[in-house]
Amino acid sequence: MADERVALIKQANDIVDVVGTYVSLRPAGQKFKGLCPFHDDHRPSFDVDPRHQNFRCWACGKYGDVISFIQEQERVDFREALELLARRAGITLEKTTNSPQNRGRAFMLDVMRWAADLYQRCLLESPLADSARRYLGERGLSGDTVRRFGLGYGPGNGDWLAQHAANAGMPDDILVKVGLIAPRKEGKGHYDFFRDRVMFPIRDGRGNTIAFGGRILPNSPSAATVGKYINSRETPLFTKSEHLYGLDQARLAAARAGYIAVVEGYMDVLMAQQAGIAQVVAPLGTAVNARHVQNLRRVGVPRVLLVFDADAGGHTGVDRALEVFVSQDVDLAIATLPEGFDPCDLLVRQGAEAFRAVLAGATDALEFKLNQMVAAEAASGIEGRRRAADAVLGVIALAPEMSGSAGAIKQQLMVTRITQRLALKEESVWARLKELRTRAQAIQRKSVGPGSVPAAPPAPPAPEEKELLQVLLAEPALVGVSAATIRPEQIQHADVRELIQGLYDLQAEEAGLAQLPAEKAFDRLRAGIEDPRLARVALEMRAIGLQQLGRAAWLERIVEEFHRKHQVEPQRQEIKNQLRAVGDDSAALELLRRLQTAS
C-alpha cells in the first residue's frame, strides 16, 4: 500500500464526518462530543478533534485516528479499514480480485449491494416476478416505498442467484460467506438460500446492505412447508441481536421526533414509513435488548417506544422491557395497540392518526408493569400490594445494575414510585429489593460456577522498555540510533519487543525510513500489525511519546539505561562472583579496581 494512498484516504475522510455516522456528535468548543461507542457510556466522554483528526475517550481511554476508529468499530484490520474508508470516499484501491485481503468486509458489502440490485431489478422488470408484484400491490405498498427500501424478488427455481453470480464472475465462497447461497449436499454447484421470496434488504445505520429478510409468496408451491419469513443466518456482516430493520431510514426522523418506535415486522415498518411516520424500526427475530438500546442511544435517540399487541406481549415481553429499562440509561416506554390489530392493519384500516394516537399513549416500562400488577392484585389488600411489589422488584433485582450516579438516581426514583403507587413503606421496599438481589446473585454465582476467575493481566513492561517504544513511535527517524545499540532480545516484554522488532524491520527494509514524515512511517508500521490489541498499544504509546519534547536526548537516556542494565550490571555481577571465589589479595584488588571503573 503506497503511503500516498493512506494519506489520501485520511484526507478524504474527515474524522468528524466518519464518527458522526456511528455516534451523534455535538460541537463543544473546538471539538465535538458524543457517547463513546467502545464502552457503555452514560455521559458524553468521547471527544473528536477535527484539528488533529483524532478521537479520545476520557472514560475508557480509547484513542486514535480515523483509521483506528474504523478498525475498532468494524472489528477489521488496518488494510480492511482503509478499504472501507476508500470506498466511502469513492477512491479505488488497486485490487487483484483473488487476493485474500479483498475477501474482507468492503468486498462482502459490494457483493450484498450487487445482490440487492439484482433482486430489485427482478422485482421491477422480470416476468418471473409477476405474482410478487401483485402480492405487494395487494398489501398496499407504493412503488416509492418499494424503491426506498430496495425491496426485491428472489425467483423460485433454486439457483437463480447462483447462476447470475457465476455469469458475473462473483466468487462462490463470498456468496456462501454472506449467506446468499449454499453448496448442494449432493452433486455439484450451489443453491439459493432465498427462493420464491419477496426480499427485504436489511441495512446498517449507514445504509449498507448487510443481510436480507425474505417472505415466501402466499401462492408459492412450498408456502405450506417453509417458514413465512426467514432472515439471513448470522454472518461476519450481520448479528441478529444487534441490528434493527429500517434504522437507516428512521434515524433522521427519530432525531427530530426525540424517540424511535419499535414494531414487530418489516411490513409494520414499511406501512408506517409510507404513512409519514418514519421513526419506526423492527428487531430481527429477537426481542429488544440492551445492545439495541445502546446502539440507539449512540445515534442520538434517547427515548424508545415498544409497540405491543393488546395482550401486551404477555408478561414476559413487559418483564424483558422492564429489565432493559432498569439496566440502561434510556427512557423506555410501552405503547399498546387496540385489540386485534397489528401496526400494519391499524395503518391500513384506520390511518396514520390512529397509529400516532397509540404512540402518544405510551407509558414508561415501570409504570406499565405497576399498572398491570395493580390491576391484577387490586382486590386483595395489603397482601396483594406486597405481591405486586415483589413481582416488580423481582424483575429489577435480576437486571444488571446501572453504574454511577445516574444508576443510583434511577434506582431511587423507581423505589419512590413503587412506594407511592402501592402505598408501602420506603424502607421495606428497599429491604425487599436488597433481599431479592442477594438471592439473585447467589443463584447466578451457582450457575456460573468456580473456575471462571479472570486471568491476571500480564506484567507491565519495564519503564525503559515502555519509553523506548514511546520515543521511537513518536519519532521513527530515531529508529536507526536505537537499532545500532539495543537488540530486540534485550527487551523482556513481548508486546514491546514485537513492535520494536517491527520498527527495526521497516528500517532494514527501507533505508529511507528516517526521511519519511513521522506520520507516514507510523502508518506503514501499522499496516503490518495484525493483532488489533497490539495496534492499540502502538497508538497509545505513540500518543504519549508525541507529548514529550527533546526526544533525541530522551532516547540517549534510555539507551544509557539499557546499557547499564544489560551490560554494566551483568559485568559487575560477574566480577563480584569472581571476587567471592578468589583466594589471593592481589587478584582481589585488581578485581575491585575493575569493579569501580565498570560503570
How far apart CA 304 and CA 297 sit, in angstroms, is 9
CB of 344 to Zn ion, least distance (A): 39
Stretch that binds Zn ion, among 55-63, 166-174, 294-302, 460-468 (CB under 5 A): 55-63
Question: Minimum distance between the CB of residue 407 and Zn ion, rounded to whole angstroms?
Answer: 17
CA distances from 123 to 112, 137, 180, 199, 227 (A): 17, 12, 17, 9, 21
Judged by CB under 5 A, the residue of 7, 60, 391, 595 near Zn ion is 60
Q: Which is nearer to Zn ion, 38 or 114 (CB)?
A: 38
At residue 141, φ and ψ (nearest 5 deg) are -85, 135
Let me know how many helices (H) and strands (E) the chain has, helices first. 26, 17
Minimum distance from CB of 227 to Zn ion (Å)?
40
From 2-10, 57-65, 237-245, 249-257, span contacting Zn ion (CB under 5 A): 57-65
Q: Cβ(339)–Cβ(310) under 8 Å?
A: yes
Min dist CB 56 to Zn ion, Å, is 9
Cell numbers for 449, please give them: 460456577
Q: Would you say 182 or 543 has its CB closer to Zn ion?
A: 543
> What number of other Cβ atoms are within 10 A of residue 303's Cβ?
18
CB of 533 to Zn ion, least distance (A): 16
Q: What whole-number distance in Å separates Cα of residue 376 and Cα of residue 368? A: 13
From candidates 1, 5, 21, 39, binder to Zn ion by CB under 5 A: 39
Based on the shown chain and the rule CB under 5 A, indicate whether residue 546 belongs to the binding site for Zn ion. no
**Which CA distances in Å does 559 have to 32, 62, 285, 506?**
40, 30, 59, 20
Only one of the segments 39-47, 210-218, 339-347, 501-509 lies at the binding site for Zn ion (rule: CB under 5 A); that segment is 39-47
Q: Which stretch binds Zn ion (CB under 5 A): 54-62, 134-142, 185-193, 447-455?
A: 54-62
Structure-block grid coordinates of residue 50? 477535527
**The binder of Zn ion chosen from 25, 57, 109, 111 (CB under 5 A):** 57
Give the burial class of 425: count Cβ atoms within 10 A of its Cβ; 0-12 exposed, 13-18 middle, 19 or more buried: exposed
* Min CB(57)–Zn ion separation in Å: 3
Report, in Å, the least distance between residue 63 CB and Zn ion.
Answer: 10
The region of 31-39, 243-251, 383-391, 472-480 touching Zn ion under the rule CB under 5 A is: 31-39
The nearest distance, CB 72 to Zn ion, in angstroms, is 10
Q: Which residues contact 100 (CB under 8 A, 6 or more apart)?
A: none
Task: Specify whether the CB–CB gap between 475 and 551 falls below 8 A.
Answer: yes
Part in contact with Zn ion (CB under 5 A); list of ranges 59-67, 225-233, 301-309, 542-550: 59-67
Please count the other Cβ atoms lying within 10 Å of the Cβ belonging to residue 110: 16
Q: How far is the CB of 36 from Zn ion (least distance, A)?
A: 3
Left (φ > 0), alpha (ψ -120 to 50) or beta: where does 39 sit? beta
Q: Which is nearer to Zn ion, 38 or 229 (CB)?
A: 38
Is 36 a binding residue for Zn ion by CB under 5 A? The answer is yes
> 87 vs 297, which CB is nearer to Zn ion?
297
**Of residues 26 and 580, the one with the C-beta less far from Zn ion:** 26
Nearer to Zn ion, 64 or 155 (CB): 64
Instruction: Single out the residue of 76, 44, 46 nearest to residue 61, CA to CA.
Output: 46
Least distance from C-beta 525 to Zn ion, angstroms?
25
Beta-bridge partner residues of 281: 262
**Span of 28-36, 187-195, 233-241, 527-535 interacting with Zn ion by CB under 5 A:** 28-36
Q: Report the nearest approach of Zn ion to the CB of residue 251 (Å).
A: 22
Task: List the one residue from 7, 12, 16, 38 that touches Zn ion (CB under 5 A).
Answer: 38
User: What is the rounded distance in angstroms from the CA atom of residue 26 to the CA atom of residue 37?
Assistant: 15
Q: How many residues bind Zn ion (CB under 5 A)?
A: 6
Q: Which DSSP letter does residue 565 get?
A: I
- Per-position b or e across 451-475, b if 16+ CB within 10 A of its CB: eeeeeeeeeebbebbbbbbbbbbbb
Q: By rule CB under 5 A, what string of x and - marks binding of each residue 198-217 to Zn ion?
A: --------------------
Using CB under 5 A as the binding rule, whether residue 58 contacts Zn ion is answered as no
- Which residue stretch of 53-61, 188-196, 218-226, 507-515 sits at the interface with Zn ion (rule: CB under 5 A)? 53-61
Q: Which three cell numbers stand for residue 226?
A: 417453509
Residues at the interface with Zn ion (CB under 5 A): 36, 38-39, 57, 59-60
